[in-house]
Amino acid sequence: MIIRNRLQILCCAGLLAAAAAMSGCQKTEREAEREIVQPEESLAEEAAAEETAIEEAPAEEAAAEETPAEETAAEAQTEDPGPESEIDPDLPGSFGLAFLENEVENNGGFFMRVGSRIFFRKYGKDVLPESVLFGNFLNMAGQPETSELCAYDPETNEIEVVFEDHGYGRIYAAANGFWLKQRREDGLWDDAVYVSEDGSQREVYPMEHPVGVNEEGSLVVLEAMEENRGPDLMVRCGGEETARVWPEDSEALSFCGIAGNDVVFLVYNYQEQSSDLYSMDARTAELTHLGAVELPEGTEPGSYPEPERFEPERDGVALTFGWYGGTGHFLNHSAVFTAIPGTADSLRLKETGVLEEKSDPEWTRVLYPDIDYNADPTRIVQSIEWIDGDAYVITALARRVPEDDIGWREAYTCLQMNWDRIDGQSLPMAAQKIDPGVISPLAELVAAEP
């Protein structure tokens, strides 16, 4: 496989339940095809002399020599660290129970439902940068100012501040709490932050940020920045790193999604202008080449695919890629592929077509028919997300900042930001004014005077 010459894998021998043992392994030609890393016979002896032992031989060969403590370590390293291991069903109303009952919706959105509550972040004033091109405020960070992570109950319309943080961007839930990102003090990258569901415990993972969680809530995928390369893709289970993949020269990795325990990602080679899709088993770091993502006919030369959608299906996954080009990063083509994670060369082209530009312009016109984009200030829709049939919307009242324009790209500063819920059952079927009574204001931030 081409992968053996282009990617290196760091495998974790287990969940480190009894011994914090990790092994770095590099694929050879014979090992490249679906290799499974096995425990090493010498673990018992090496663990007594060193705290970083690695197993490679079957654990049953060493079972007769193990003490009870060592048997516990071997059991932790040979059992399948599957999604269920991280879920605690003994916590009624906990995130773990919500994952077990499939009561998690829009995980990784700006709004997210866990159980009966909708979580969102109300930004602090200085979290927003002074100006942003196109007025896209949610994905940019200014100073690490305090924000509020809020929980909204649609049944009672009550809003609770769960905890404060210095974060921004999307919100992820795992079986044991939140995974968020916050801007570093140097402003150059982000840190990942794990916060327990009640906000009482937190842990910072420097130079990382979350990009995905599997459906069971047990595996978290993060991007990790390393010196002179990256970002890497890494997997954490219960906070411990279990697998990592990183690019070599002239390569970039793009996370696509998670299906079960398989992390699916794209490898783009700048020199060869080639794109290949891979899956990695998060428990064993086993790689599978799913296929080459070919440039659709008529696509502008030099453009490359970017993951847009990832949808698990009964027999695999469906992936939508958009091809962008030019200094304006304009969409000029798109295609939908299907693949079976863990099955080599299973990538198939399903259909081609042009995706709509970012956001959902049709629903923007329905929800906000009076927006005048030529006005100054004007209201810019930041996000429209659908949860349990209702629309959850973030908008910003923004004013032009011509001195910060870059060429034809217009810059804006945020004057006010609003978080609203719109009753889905009361929405009109066509672009016409909606009854203001169906809009439930959730939060408001006044960032500057108009």
Q: Which helix (H) or strand (E) holds 45?
A: helix 43-49
Greater confidence (145 vs 28) lies with 145
For residue 54, tell me if it sits in a domain.
Answer: yes
Identify the bridge partners of residue 330 per DSSP, sorted by sequence position. Answer: 325
For residue 49, tell me if it sits in a domain.
Answer: yes
For residue 57, tell me if it sits in a domain.
Answer: yes
Q: Which residues contact 130 (CB under 8 A, 6 or more apart)?
A: 142, 401, 404, 413
End-to-end CA distance of the chain: 58
Question: Quick one: tokens of 141?
Answer: 């960070």
Per-residue confidence (pLDDT) for residue 84, from 0 to 100? 42
Per-residue confidence (pLDDT) for residue 307, from 0 to 100? 93
For residue 12, tell me if it sits in a domain.
Answer: yes
Q: Which helix (H) or strand (E) holds 334?
A: strand 330-339
State the Cα–Cα distance between residues 249 and 426, nearest whole angstrom: 53
User: pLDDT grade, residue 227 (50/70/90)?
Assistant: confident
Percent of the chain with pLDDT over 70: 70
**Phi/psi at 154 (nearest 5 deg)?**
-60, -25
Task: Evaluate whether 213 touches 108 at the Cβ level (below 8 Å).
Answer: yes
What average pLDDT does the structure give for the chain? Answer: 76
For residue 258, tell me if it sits in a domain.
Answer: no
Task: Evaluate whether 180 touches 167 at the Cβ level (below 8 Å).
Answer: yes
Residue type (1 letter), 90: D
The pTM of this model reads 0.76
Question: Quick one: tokens of 135?
Answer: 């007025």
For residue 254, tell me if it sits in a domain.
Answer: no
Burial class (CB in 10 A: 0-12, 13-18, 19+), 252: middle
Per-residue confidence (pLDDT) for residue 370, from 0 to 100? 74
Sheet of 202-205: strands edge to edge? 172-174, 177-183, 190-196, 202-205
Identify the bridge partners of residue 223 per DSSP, sorted by sequence position. Answer: 209, 233
Nearest Cα neighbor of 168 from 191, 188, 186, 199 is: 191
Sheet of 8-12: strands edge to edge? 22-25, 8-12, 240-246, 229-237, 219-226, 208-213
Per-residue confidence (pLDDT) for residue 104, from 0 to 100? 96
Question: Quick one: tokens of 159?
Answer: 């809003």
Which has the minimum average pLDDT: 127-131, 318-322, 366-370, 402-406? Answer: 366-370
User: pLDDT grade, residue 124 (50/70/90)?
Assistant: confident
Per-residue confidence (pLDDT) for residue 363, from 0 to 100? 67
- Taking only the tens place, the pLDDT of each residue in 370-402 is 778 788 899 999 999 999 989 999 999 999 999
Residue 163 has pLDDT above 60, yes or no: yes
Which has the minimum average pLDDT: 37-51, 218-232, 262-276, 409-423? Answer: 37-51
Q: Is the peptide bond before 231 cis (omega within 30 degrees of 0)?
A: yes
State the Cα–Cα distance between residues 382 and 79, nearest whole angstrom: 44
State the Cα–Cα distance between residues 11 and 161, nearest whole angstrom: 39
Per-residue confidence (pLDDT) for residue 428, from 0 to 100? 58
For residue 207, tell me if it sits in a domain.
Answer: no
Nearest Cα neighbor of 394 from 367, 376, 370 is: 367
Per-residue confidence (pLDDT) for residue 366, from 0 to 100? 67
- Taking only the tens place, the pLDDT of each residue in 396-428 is 999 999 999 998 889 999 999 999 998 887 765
Number of domains in the chain: 1
User: pLDDT grade, residue 225 (50/70/90)?
Assistant: confident
CA 189 to each of CA 149, 170, 249, 297: distance values in angstroms, whole numbers, following the listed order: 21, 15, 21, 37
Q: What is the mean pLDDT of residues 431-440?
A: 65
Per-residue confidence (pLDDT) for residue 273, from 0 to 100? 85
DSSP class of 167: B
Domain coverage including residue 35: 3-79
Residue 57 has pLDDT above 60, yes or no: no
284-315 core/surface letters (b: 16 or more CB in 10 A; e: else): bbbbbbbbebebbeebeeebbbbbbebeeeee
State the Cα–Cα distance between residues 44 and 339, nearest whole angstrom: 41
